[in-house]
Amino acid sequence: MNPTLSARLHRWSQRWAPAAIVIPGDGDVWPFVLVGLVLYVLRLGAAPLWYDEAVSEWMAELPLARMISATAADTHPPLYYALLHFVQWLGNSPFVLRLPSVFAALVVIYLTWEIAREFNLSRIARIIGVGLLLVIPFQLWFAQEARMYTIFEAFVLGALLAALRRRWLWFVALNALALWTHNYGLFYLIVNCGVAAYVFWFDRYDYWRRSSIATALRYSIPLGSRMEDIKHAATEALICVGLMGAIALTLWSPWLLALRTQMGIVNAGYWIQPVTAGDVVFSLFTILFGATSALPIWLVPICALFSIGLLTWLVIKIAQRPEEGTLIGLWFVAAPILISLSISFAWRPVFLFRGFAPGVPIICLLVGWALAQLNLRYRLYAAILIAPLFVGVGIGHYVSMPEIKGSELQTIMDNIRAEWQPGDVIFYSNEGPMVAWHMRSVGLPQYLLPRCPQNDLGALSQQTRDGLGMREVVPASLPWKRAWFVFAVMSPVTQCAADEGQAFLDAHPHRLAYEIQNDQYVEANVWLLER
Amino acid sequence: MTDKYFAWLKYYQQRNNAMLGITAVAVMMVLAWEMVSFYPLPPAWLSRFRQAYLIAGLLVFFLTIVLSYFGLEGKLP
């Protein structure tokens, strides 16, 4: 990049970007940010919104008070939906709705570079680490996803950087924002407080050590014991960091009541399965390769082999040559996983790879650090291993994303609209397809079949359904002539819900209108019923 | 729950078991590399071992991709 342009961009960021006002940087990061911008904006709107993104869109289009009520009985805090609410003023196309994630992913590139400087990584290590972050499939997926994960990453990494740079007001504020963005913010608050405590302790220990030397010199008394200095410093660090953590929690405390309801929902039966060793390994693999639905099945074994091998090698390298920065990095990556595992074993399964998103850029930095220690020949060898996988999966991401996210649903809905007659309605057997089709079926009368006494696994709560305005009706109570019945039986659906759907189908003359997916795991079709 | 749930559960367990097998192979490969690098051998031997390991590793890497393609494509969800 032109050094003048780079310097100009840097000066501009120093002047205008809120983060840069407190976080000094160097101009070297901007080429990476620009490449990131190209990679993240490329085909950004090509894929339709899939279920999770459609939930974001639906939540965001509600009035704020109703959105907060709806999400209070779901599983996430409301900050991301509130942000998306305002972004929707620019439009509600997938491209616009995914833009906040793109911007946050660009901020993450910047923060990762700066954290690498604080870790005292060499320039080559920084370049490899941040370069890896650009092509790592996990980051590419979530930078182009209308969900909160890259924003959560940006807040948590910002808090980490604030701790390393002793910007304590920013530390508190960014941790509080992370708490309002994702419930895993609680885990990362503990992790970041751990880093802050270390930094604080280190500073105070230095202060106490100097004080005791000064006192000893002034009054000609023997030096105070080193242990006393360590104790003083540790006490101060614990008090100050505890206080900062408490302030962050206080800023988030209005959401505590809602969190209680959310935990009740998880406790009552969530779709996450009990954690097994294989599950942990699978999550470690997906931390690098992102949503595995984007991977062709034949690439999974080698990608998993590569991921686990790489992480194992990384741990060995850190153990062989422990440095302050890399140890903090290891703590930042491993501690949330251990906390989440502990809670999953002690209470309910809450172990989900997406929540570990903030650790991904740090893993890239650690890989950069480890590779930077190798000679050029071995680095080239590593590139031969890494490049085909990451680049191949990245290209696959762009090509297959529309299909993975359900572009055929749009075609089906277009056909339904073309065949629409007065007196037609749409019924959904459950909320899954209703959410996914929400944006595509605007203006059409659509209803849910009444819910069974036992919820589908991970189903939305009644309060969330009410907030979203989902209408459950008994079909006989409506004056419809023809009904387009979206009948989907997937793994989380209860037998009762499947039977109810089948009974509705059998009670009317019907024909198969459109097939969506039919295999041993999912049976989803659109039926046309007549009265 | 429906038979879809139990089919998925079976797939989930098989996947997790496969992951454990892959982990064992990956960890052994890395440990083998570390041994090749640090085992007290004459430097000339060590260099040859490393070369052989890296070439064999690359062959296994690409061979696994090819075999996986012909073995798994279209057979699993």
Q: For residue A518, what pLDDT band results from cuts at 50, 70 and 90?
A: confident
* Binary contact (B2, A495; C-beta < 8 A): yes
* Binary contact (A495, B1; C-beta < 8 A): yes
DSSP, res A458: T
Nearest CA in chain B to A276: B16
> Which range is least confidently modeled, A88-92, A296-300, A371-375, A430-434?
A296-300
A chain contacts of residue B71, beta-carbon cutoff 8 Å: 298
* The token pair that represents A455 in the structure block: 């919820």
Q: Number of Cβ pairs closer than 8 Å across A and B?
A: 112
Q: What is the mean pLDDT of residues A219-232?
A: 67
Q: How far is CA A138 from CA A291, A352, A359, A415, B18, in A?
A: 7, 14, 11, 34, 21
Rounded CA-CA distance A362/A121 in Å is 12
Here the ipTM equals 0.88
The DSSP annotation for A498-517 comes to HHHHHHHHHTS-EEEEEEEE
Q: Does residue A412 sit at the B interface (CB-CB below 8 Å)?
A: no
Residue A9: the pLDDT is 56
Only one residue has tokens 């501009």, namely A12
Rounded CA-CA distance A401/A411 in Å is 16
Per the CB < 8 A criterion, the answer to whether A154 and A108 are in contact is yes
Residue A386: the pLDDT is 86
Pick the residue with more confidence: A109 or A516?
Answer: A109
Rounded CA-CA distance A329/A359 in Å is 8
Does the pLDDT at position A5 exceed 90? no
Q: Does residue A273 sit at the B interface (CB-CB below 8 Å)?
A: yes
In degrees, rounded to 5, the angle at the alpha carbon of residue A107 between the alpha carbons of residues A101 and A113 is: 140
Does the pLDDT at position A217 exceed 90? no
Per the CB < 8 A criterion, the answer to whether A435 and A55 are in contact is yes
In degrees, rounded to 5, the angle at the alpha carbon of residue A272 between the alpha carbons of residues A271 and A278 is: 140
* The token pair that represents A266 in the structure block: 């998880």
Within 10 Å of residue A531's Cβ, how many Cβ atoms? Answer: 14
* Binary contact (B2, A381; C-beta < 8 A): no
Residue A22: the pLDDT is 42
Q: For residue A20, what pLDDT band results from cuts at 50, 70 and 90?
A: very low
Å from A499 to nearest chain B CA? Answer: 10
* Binary contact (B30, A521; C-beta < 8 A): no
Within 10 Å of residue A526's Cβ, how many Cβ atoms? Answer: 22
Rounded CA-CA distance A175/A166 in Å is 14
Residue A485: the pLDDT is 94
**Phi-psi sector, A510: left (phi>0), alpha (psi -120 to 50), beta:** beta
Q: Determine the length of chain A.
A: 531
Residue B62: is it exposed, middle or buried by C-beta count within 10 angstroms (0-12/13-18/19+)?
middle
* Tens digit of each residue's pLDDT (9 = 90 or more) over A460-510: 888 888 898 888 899 989 898 999 999 998 888 888 889 999 999 999 999
Q: How far is CA A497 from CA A4, A414, A468, A511, in A?
A: 64, 27, 21, 20
* Tens digit of each residue's pLDDT (9 = 90 or more) over A140-171: 999 999 999 999 999 999 999 999 999 999 99
Average per-residue pLDDT for chain A: 87
* Binary contact (B5, A385; C-beta < 8 A): no
Does the pLDDT at position A311 exceed 90? yes
> Which range is least confidently modeled, A91-95, A357-361, B56-60?
B56-60
Over its C-alpha atoms, chain B yields an Rg (Å, rounded) of 19
Question: φ, ψ for residue B2 (rounded to 5)?
Answer: -85, 170
Give the predicted TM-score (pTM) of the model: 0.89
Rounded CA-CA distance A273/A322 in Å is 36
Q: For residue A292, what pLDDT band results from cuts at 50, 70 and 90?
A: low
Handedness of CA A23, A24, A27, A29 (dihedral sign): negative
Nearest CA in chain A to B57: A385
Q: How far is CA A237 from CA A210, A234, A249, A326, A402, in A?
A: 17, 5, 18, 21, 50
Residue A290: the pLDDT is 78
Highest mean pLDDT among A211-225, A284-298, A315-329, B37-51: A315-329
A chain contacts of residue B68, beta-carbon cutoff 8 Å: 298-302
Q: Determine the length of chain B.
A: 77
* Binary contact (B1, A494; C-beta < 8 A): yes
What interhelical angle do A407-419 and A376-404 show, nearest 10?
10
